[in-house]
Amino acid sequence: MTTELRRLRNYIDGEFRDAADGRTTEVVNPVTGEAYASAPLSAEADVDAAMAAAKAAFPAWRDLIPGERQKALLKIADAFEERAEELIAVESENTGKPLGLTRTEEIPPMVDQIRFFAGAARLLEGRSAGEYMEGLTSIVRREPIGVCAQVAPWNYPMMMAVWKFAPALAAGNTVVLKPSDTTPASTVLMAEIIGGVLAELGHPKGVFNVVCGDRDTGRLMVEHPVPAMASITGSVRAGMQVAESASKDLKRVHLELGGKAPVVVFEDTDLAKAVEDISTAGFFNAGQDCTAATRVLVHESIHDEFVTALAKAAADTKTGAPDDDDVLYGPLNNANQLAQVAGFIDRLPAHAKVEAGGERVGDKGYFYAPTVVSGLKQDDEIIQKEVFGPVITVQSFSSEEQAIEYANGVEYALASSVWTKNHARAMRLSKALDFGCVWINTHIPLVAEMPHGGFKKSGYGKDLSAYGFEDYTRVKHVMTSLEG
């Protein structure tokens, strides 16, 4: 007996549609490893339709006064709040995330971020008008870019969708958004909610569109001639491919890619508090977070004590089903990701030591134990490459200079943290660390008002904050003669 799969559909020009050629792909619940839904495997005709709808809707949406776009976003935020339990249930099935943590750690920030960008819609800042040449007045206009092609990842399907569509819509752009092929369900539900609000307010049908599909679908979106901007959150490889494709017609590109966050722990820190916070920040969401606290650098004088305490914290950390209130995280997202994480552990060099975990949990789904690895060297694969799983590595350092060298000695540059009671040292490290974010005595909190984004192979462009909002605008100079 076979169970009928739930049918997900694209959302294009205000209506739900199957792929034009009828192709679908199965969507798997990572808790069970079994398919529970089917989603469109969109191709050129579907992308064309979505882009045409977004292009047609753009002039009217662009020309709205900012207060009207703010009103729409505020109503979307309210609707997300009202239907929070539906979003939580679908996202949990999408990803296997704990229901309780999704309720407390994702819905409130998402709603807050939408409301932040609703406010930002009415605060387009720039230089004041002025005379910089005799007899002429200059004005700077900030304008929307146009249609935005956006690709969201599978680690935070709902929240990363918000990070993309909220600033884009607030600035007056229209959107074609593609969720990951492994986690489309919550984005389709979001489309229903957003589409309902926009329709209620009488806005054009094509302002917000969702196209499901795989990497090839994303490629078609980025290469399409209509979008003026491509935005992706994903792997370094995917970011490079997007940048290359977008360069062919000089699209603007916004990239938030991988991370390998150094967590620099000095001997004067509160060790027990540091271990507690770092273990949570490393294992949360199964370590599937580009800012996760997974690469710890500890002063040699407290190294052994720290490793022992961290291994105990890992042993006390629980992974399991979404409805278990005692678990910190659920499964890895898919079978390929489970194989990738296990592969890093299988390939560890002889000098490495697995202090905790290091194995799959259970015989179904994609669960992996909280893992701590010590005895590592700077050039080891697991230090240099992003694991994206519940694995925390520990290295020791002997001096502040060596800590900085090790911290910066990777190709990623998204986030970092410093743990010390010495204020001057914290300030020195915050300057020296080559990362887009430096936390001091904490790791992983984000707020809507502050920018998030990296350097080097972690990409470019900012999410959140006024900087993230401005990334979805273009600048125009207008000069007028004072002589009439």
CATH of the domain at 415: 3.40.309.10
Residue 3 confidence (pLDDT) = 67
Phi, psi of 356 (to 5 degrees): -160, 150
Whether 232 and 131 map to the same domain: the answer is yes
Residue 242 confidence (pLDDT) = 94
Whether 36 and 74 map to the same domain: the answer is yes
CATH number at residue 43: 3.40.605.10
Q: Which long-range contacts (CB under 8 A, 24 or more apart) does 369-377 make?
A: 369/314, 369/319, 370/279, 370/283, 370/314, 370/315, 370/317, 370/319, 370/328, 371/314, 371/345, 372/307, 372/310, 372/311, 372/314, 373/345, 373/348, 374/307, 375/351, 376/349, 376/351, 376/352, 377/349, 377/351
Whether 344 and 441 map to the same domain: the answer is yes
Range(s) of the domain holding residue 272:
262-448
Catalytic residues: 256, 290
Whether 463 and 436 map to the same domain: the answer is no
Q: Evaluate whether residue 482 is within a structural domain.
A: no
Dihedral over Cα of 226, 230, 235, 240: its sign: positive
Whether 415 and 470 map to the same domain: the answer is no
For every one of its 484 residues, what pLDDT tens digit does the chain have, with 9 covering 90 and above? 456 899 999 999 999 999 999 999 999 999 999 999 999 999 999 999 999 999 999 999 999 999 999 999 999 999 999 999 999 999 999 999 999 999 999 999 999 999 999 999 998 877 778 999 999 999 999 999 999 999 999 999 999 999 999 999 999 999 999 999 999 999 999 999 999 999 999 999 999 999 999 999 999 999 999 999 999 999 999 999 999 999 999 999 999 999 999 999 999 999 999 999 999 999 999 999 999 999 999 999 999 999 999 999 999 999 999 999 999 999 999 999 999 999 999 999 999 999 999 999 999 999 999 999 999 999 999 999 999 999 999 999 999 999 999 999 999 999 999 999 999 999 999 999 999 999 999 999 999 999 999 999 999 999 999 999 999 999 999 999 999 6
Residue closest to 70 by CA, chosen among 109, 112, 116, 111: 116
Whether 279 and 251 map to the same domain: the answer is no
Whether 300 and 209 map to the same domain: the answer is no
Whether 198 and 315 map to the same domain: the answer is no
Amino acid of residue 265 = V
Q: Evaluate whether residue 207 is within a structural domain.
A: yes
C-beta separation of 210 from 182 below 8 A: no
C-beta separation of 468 from 148 below 8 A: no
Whether 358 and 248 map to the same domain: the answer is no
Residue 1 confidence (pLDDT) = 42
What's the order of all strands across the beta sheet hosting 130-133? 130-133, 136-144, 473-481
Residue 125 confidence (pLDDT) = 76
Whether 247 and 288 map to the same domain: the answer is no
Report the number of distinct structural domains present in the chain.
2
Q: Evaluate whether residue 51 is within a structural domain.
A: yes
Residue 431 burial (C-beta neighbours within 10 Å; 0-12, 13-18, 19+):
exposed
Whether 143 and 104 map to the same domain: the answer is yes
Whether 21 and 104 map to the same domain: the answer is yes
Q: Evaluate whether residue 453 is within a structural domain.
A: no
Q: Evaluate whether residue 440 is within a structural domain.
A: yes
Residue 477 confidence (pLDDT) = 94
